[in-house]
Amino acid sequence: MNSEWQLRMLKLLVNMPLRLLNRVLQFPEPKYLQTKMLQHTYQIMLKTYRLEVQKGVFDVPDGNFERFLMVAAKLAANIGERDPLGMARADLLACRRRT
């Protein structure tokens, strides 16, 4: 098979589910410290990626990597807001820092 055709098919196989997940998933309202930290980290990663694109490190972006970052952040934020053990650990760490 042609390697360019294989690459296009692989990109299609990866990007179509990411597009769907990006539309379906939403960022939860941050109630816990870990979700706020995650959203802040996502913003920093996105700014860094856009700076690297402007510097010419990456080719002209087609939105696929940005979409990948957003889906990963949405998944992690939703897990962080719904994980009872993660919430308990974050609350415990926040209490320890206050005292």
Token duo for residue 98: 């206050």
Give me the pLDDT at residue 82, please.
Answer: 80
Confidence of residue 94 (pLDDT cuts 50, 70, 90): low
The residue type of 70 is M
Domain tally, the chain: 1
pLDDT digits (tens, 9 = 90+) for 6-63: 888 988 898 899 999 999 999 888 888 888 888 899 999 999 988 988 888 887 777 8
DSSP state of 30: P
What is the C-alpha separation between 74 and 76, in angstroms, rounded? 6
Q: Say yes or no to pLDDT of 5 above 60.
A: yes
Give me the pLDDT at residue 83, please.
Answer: 72
To which residue do tokens 């897990």 refer? 79
What is the C-alpha separation between 63 and 45, in angstroms, rounded? 14
3-class secondary-structure state, position 6? helix
